[in-house]
Amino acid sequence: MTNGLKIIASASEIARLVRSVGKTGRLAVDLEADSMYHFQERVCLLQMATDRHQAVIDPLSIEDLSALKPMFNNPRLQKVFHGADYDVRSLYRDFQIEIRNLFDTQLASRFVGLKETGLEAVLQARFGVNLDKKYQRKDWSQRPLPPEMIAYAANDVRYLIELAEMLEEELRAKARLAWVQEECEHLSRVGPVHNGKEPLFLNFKGAGRLSPRSLAVLEALLQLRVALARKKDRPLFKVFSNKSLLTLATAG
């Protein structure tokens, strides 16, 4: 558990944060994005915690976050995430940040045998903590962010280091720690950037059972959805749902 939340909105404050974090062994990390509200999603808030302090970085107020790269790439500093895949890809997409020495508490929770591994369920089971999720679907690109939204975001990293220490002990006792470390190493490797040249239906659930004609219709609809979403700056699902596109593609 940590105390002392600091809001970081300048490059000089980031430099001080990096120096401070370099003296610790673990850093909890989470982020908030705006995928519910815009076509091109972006990281809107970056939350971090050590065993003593919390910090929230506003990437929309800081032009250059490259000073964070050595910290995330430091193999002596363990970076703790819960459900790391989306965050790892988002950090690389927006800031070209690569991560070494990653520990995913959601993955670890599965390996110790927990059935429910969402952060809310795990914190409730291990610490009796109830996370307030009322801001989960808010627009994190809005500025200024209300103080209560910032506090909400910071709460997602508040217990992660303590949780990681607990889970590591259990994994070691079960002789499964090496398995999780191997999986976390795999998670930390960012895949190639999607080049946009292959057909969109290849990543569309349910496309595999369609006829060639229906696939052609579906691809045209998917391309139209992307064009409209980009023009209106809206997420794809707010233009046409997957279900409606599948219905149209198979009609007649």
Q: Residue 183 — pLDDT band, cuts 50, 70, 90?
A: very high
Question: Alpha helix locations (H) across the chain?
Answer: 11-21, 69-72, 84-95, 105-111, 119-127, 147-155, 160-173, 177-188, 212-232, 242-250
Q: Is the Cβ–Cβ distance between 33 and 141 less than 8 Å?
A: no
Distance, CA of 241 to CA of 246 (rounded, Å)? 9
- The count of residues in the chain is 252
Position 5 pLDDT exceeds 90: no
Percent above pLDDT 90 for the chain:
84
pLDDT value at residue 1: 42
Axis-axis angle for helices 84-95, 177-188 (nearest 10)? 30
What would the mean pLDDT of 30-48 be, rounded to a whole number?
94
- The backbone torsions φ and ψ at residue 146, rounded to the nearest 5 degrees and listed phi first, read -60, 145
Give, in words, the CATH class of 5-188.
alpha beta
Global pTM reads: 0.85
Handedness of CA 224, 228, 233, 238 (dihedral sign): negative
Position 196 pLDDT exceeds 90: no
Distance, CA of 168 to CA of 172 (rounded, Å)? 6
Position 115 pLDDT exceeds 60: yes
Domain boundaries, the chain: 5-188, 200-250
pLDDT value at residue 3: 53
State the pairing for strand pair 54-57/26-33. Answer: unpaired
Percent above pLDDT 70 for the chain:
96
DSSP lists the bridge partners of residue 29 as 48
pLDDT value at residue 2: 46
Q: Residue 137 — pLDDT band, cuts 50, 70, 90?
A: confident
Q: Residue 194 — pLDDT band, cuts 50, 70, 90?
A: low
Which residue has tokens 């946009």? 196
Q: Express the helix, strand and coil content of the chain in percent, nearest 5 each.
A: 50, 10, 40
